[in-house]
Structure 1
């Protein structure tokens, strides 16, 4: 049995804590909300994020960051990308000895264009962290807490740290592979949300399966092109954190990004979609970052650019699709890797 602390009691943070508690670990789940903390500890539920799910009775929630930090040598960050720097700043002030830092978030910071592991490096001093591990892959929280088979990846530049995380989570419904391509795993996990928004728009416009299949395929080509420019192994994008995560996020009823895109395709404004969802839609923020990365690295990302014009420049989804379909002709395989 290990002591583990999870920071962030949204749907995925709670699901992560669920698996750890199921495995018999002493898991502490931090939330900033006192009411949510009491609900988890007294009723063993988290109805706002995972309705009708009974949480393990050995899962303990707290609102005190210091208590969660001192509880364990393994700290798992499960907050939205925009909250990464804030929570890491708090952790940095409280850590007294090196901790293993794991993150399960998926996104890229606009303007700085940093991946989550790079943001963690900025905010937590080197002497206060043993290693950084990204836990990523096709994994909807709603299915994990039903103990449906799920397979994901623990990626780190430190092989022993990745194996440590693998050992913490592995059970008969939650399988974990290890990986050394931290860049590729983080890029795949972030950009799949962009393509999922576009897939939702396509379905919202009632364009059908042909369009969505093409969109997913060409979206993977864009992710691969950018990832390679940033130093990732192209084979990573054929794996769980690339193709696997892309498929599940572009097709599932559980995907917030797909849902948001679907509403946009039906004619809702971005403000209406954001206010109606009630949860963070990572793909919106990541689309801005992906647009900036494409410009920085000189990478052609037409789907991402089209989505950017819809989200931030007032173009209609129909106009964006018409422009995409009217692009000059290309050769497919060369275009995937070089154009």
Structure 2
């Protein structure tokens, strides 16, 4: 028998998540049945969206999130020992996954980690995993930027936003990013090649945008929502495209008491904007081509990847909490 520890959500989050919202449970895993694989977790992704999904499951529930794990024992002929998988088993040391089970929700998603050719397997939960795919398809399939256009991205120094901006530069666009510290502004401009970046906490967003994009905005990749997004959308050009990936500004608010933001319908109608939310699994059939292109961009240096690494099972909650105070630059991952 294999013993494992896991984080179990025992109380719904109220405001910012708290340590006592979780319980660390130790248990023995059962023997493998036909179709099962035993997975040892290597890397765990912590993401702001976990806050949004918190109240969608009955208590108690195991805290899910993307993870890269290696098969240590297998009773499935197509998945031998040593195979690396992306699953959403989340905050645990070991898990058992039945490879024949149908996908029902996040807990049923499993994919082989793509061939990384010497890159760290941590990228399987980041630039070569959910974060990279979200950036790739959200920008290229919804915004469809063309050379010379202006692209704005919020939470620009995060796991998704930083890749969105770099892909937009590859496609020949002018890129403007909003982030939460001067350190992140410098990283975006000096290392990632953003044309302009702003610390939204210290600038007048409307004025800064008019100066940085005097001819207006063509594409907006929205990770933040709220009033900032209303300001950005109001400065978009005719037939502009908005890809809605997240709404970090309200993740710690109660959904029944959300802050009010300026309406966007006037701009959407008069400028004939396309505004679309998405989940990247919509394009699952295209994942292989996305993996190939992302890998080439990373290897060539066209996309620079930065990870904020926390080590140890006992520190997973601290890594998660740090997201809400802006501690991470790039992808936040936990190494087990």
Q: Which TM-score band applies after superposition, normalised by the shorter structure?
A: 0.3 to 0.5
- Greater relative contact order, per chain length (Cα 8 Å cut-off, separation 6+): 2
TM-score (norm: length of structure 1): 0.33
Name the structure with the higher helix share.
1
TM-score (norm: length of structure 2): 0.33
Name the structure with the higher strand share.
2
